[in-house]
Structure 1
Amino acid sequence: MAPAGGATPPGGATLYESRVRHVRTARQRYALDHRTSYWLVDVDRLPRLPRALRPLAGFRARDHFDGRGPTLRAGLERFLAGQGVAPATGRVLMLAQARVLGYVFNPLSVYWCHDGEGTLRHVVAEVHNTYGERHAYLLGPEAARHAGADKAFYVSPFLPVAGRYRMRLPVPDGRLDLTVQLDVDGARALTATVRGVGRPYTARRLALASLRHPLAPLAASLAIRIHGIRLYLRKLPVVPRPDHQPQEGFQ
């Protein structure tokens, strides 16, 4: 397992065999459950894959934040500056799904930003919806235990842009255990969890993960759409999507 406190081997990355579960309790109870692979990487030391495996996993700056930074760190720093926060001076770990065969979809990417002494200073939860839009929530180090943020981004066509998130996003240390809950009008509307066990990246492990979860980001995107159709057929009311206004650092 990845070492506690370091989360990923020096100069390496960790692959997490993960289970993603969404339980909707607003209006109708409904659960979505699927398995996939997540990567935990140092944004400054991305894994270098053998040429034959590169189509199976890639990380590009254009897939995150405003997509215009030359590097993942540059995109993160542009976002932090837009929020009036100084850039991270130390290690930044990112949890995300990789681009596979040219396709990427990350419902949730998480960044743990440390200072030069290794102290966690910020946690950033970046959310993508199936309409190609992005929004990031800036949280403090308390997000490793519990943090809150007002919902400000359209994700599901069956939930309004209202309510408050409660997030628990600890730095993975060989085990991945993230929880995001949404409360609307004082009642729990949605609980999402991501749980998994990590192993240091090797070419063999990537090949096996790709066999277990072929086209993982595409499968996740299709699963969300299929479950959306099922909810629509159950006559769950659709909430119109508002015009998306890019936040500071995304313009």
Structure 2
Amino acid sequence: MELFYLLCSIVYTSITTLILSLFLPFHTLLRRLVLSRAASSSSSEGDEFISLYEGTIYHQRRQPVHHSFQHQIRYALIDLDRTPHAPPNHLSPDEARQITDTNGPILLLTIPPSVGYEQNPLSVYYCYDVEDSSTRLKKCIAEATNSPWSERLSFTFNPHSDLVAKTMHVSPFMDMLGNWSIKAGEPGENLNISISIHHPELGNYFTATLKAKKLCSSSTSILDHAVFFWLIPHKIVVGMYWNGLKLWWKNVKFIPHPKYTNLAYKDESLIREKKLQCCPFSRQRETNEDCLAGGTPKERWFRWIDAK
């Protein structure tokens, strides 16, 4: 049944993409005509809340077989307090501040939909705190989406370095064991995010990195965002399935979604998260059970959203 829905989704997306792509040049021309007639101050202010980044995503798997790939990517960094239209299906700035207990700006790093299709494996909210007239990056919110199930997991993490229990089935070639080691540098002229998986049997067997540079305003001001991100989500999903086929060809074990075999997988992952927060990296001498009995684990915010 899932294969049938997947095939229907591919056909529908292909038809929608073709039709909307044919209208894209007319939409772009119309938008530029409208901007050219508007006041120059208004047109320049209209793009100030968005910064465009271009860079490379690199994936490397070291166990049980070696497999790596990289591809070019484009991201938008959106100031959610200044944008006139909040991005759909994302947190509002007030919601992000409430979740992270911050009081400053909220920036969202994401890939906008293109010609009717959205594919966002990872979006990140950068949540700032203001103290004594100084602004510092205090916390981040990761927003991960898996394919082809289109489920969404959101959770908070320390951008400077954090370890989070793996709480989502992100790939049919990875089990639910292990922890995510995640780090996100403050976005500026350069942008860096790294995620690795620490597995109890395979060790540090997988790493994903994003390295991007901010495009200067002179080069982005003349670009329509719809053209800049044209087919970027489509390229991402094609790359996912192509590399998934390569892993299958290399005899990497295919692991079905745990929702078909273990309905308690979310609860189990939260127990692992609680143990992890009690005894990170097993630095303490007590066992995980003793830690749970007498420790005071830090609370981490999680939210799952099932596919429509």
TM-score by length of 1: 0.76
- What residue is the counterpart of 1:19 in the other structure? 56
Confirm whether residue 236 of structure 1 aligns to residue 263 of structure 2: no
- Partners of 1:123 and 1:47 in 2: how far apart? 23
Confirm whether residue 76 of structure 1 aligns to residue 96 of structure 2: yes
Q: CA deviation at 1:188?
A: 1.3
Greater mean alpha carbon deviation, residues 201-210 or residues 166-175? 201-210
| Residue deviations 1:175-210 (CA, integer Å, cap 9, x gap) | 011111111116112100101110255342456973
Confirm whether residue 126 of structure 1 aligns to residue 126 of structure 2: no
Confirm whether residue 97 of structure 1 aligns to residue 124 of structure 2: no
Q: Which amino acid aligns with 1:25?
A: R
- What residue is the counterpart of 1:171 in the other structure? 186
- Partners of 2:166 and 2:189 in 1: how far apart? 30
- What residue is the counterpart of 2:68 in the other structure? 31
- Partners of 1:200 and 1:102 in 2: how far apart? 27
- What residue is the counterpart of 1:150 in the other structure? 165
Q: 1:200 to 1:250 in 2, by over 3 A?
A: farther
- What residue is the counterpart of 2:277 in the other structure? none
| Residue deviations 1:7-35 (CA, integer Å, cap 9, x gap) | xx994321111101100112111012110
Which structure carries more relative contact order (alpha carbon 8 Å, separation 6+)? 1
- Partners of 1:209 and 1:194 in 2: how far apart? 22
More helix per residue: 2
Greater mean alpha carbon deviation, residues 154-163 or residues 201-210? 201-210
Q: CA deviation at 1:40?
A: 1.0
- Partners of 1:206 and 1:147 in 2: how far apart? 36
Q: Which amino acid aligns with 1:104?
A: E
- What residue is the counterpart of 1:204 in the other structure? 222
- Please tell me whether the aligned partners of residues 61 and 75 of structure 1 are also in contact (alpha carbons under 8 angstroms): no
CA RMSD of aligned residues (A): 2.8
- What residue is the counterpart of 2:204 in the other structure? 188
Q: 1:207 to 1:32 in 2, by over 3 A?
A: same
- Partners of 1:166 and 1:229 in 2: how far apart? 26
- Please tell me whether the aligned partners of residues 13 and 200 of structure 1 are also in contact (alpha carbons under 8 angstroms): no
- Partners of 2:188 and 2:127 in 1: how far apart? 15
- Partners of 1:99 and 1:12 in 2: how far apart? 17
Q: CA deviation at 1:163?
A: 0.5
- Partners of 2:256 and 2:95 in 1: how far apart? 30
In percent, how many aligned pairs have the same letter? 24
- Please tell me whether the aligned partners of residues 113 and 123 of structure 1 are also in contact (alpha carbons under 8 angstroms): yes
Q: Which runs of 5+ in 2 are unaligned?
A: 1-45, 260-264, 268-300
- Please tell me whether the aligned partners of residues 37 and 97 of structure 1 are also in contact (alpha carbons under 8 angstroms): yes
- Partners of 1:10 and 1:113 in 2: how far apart? 21
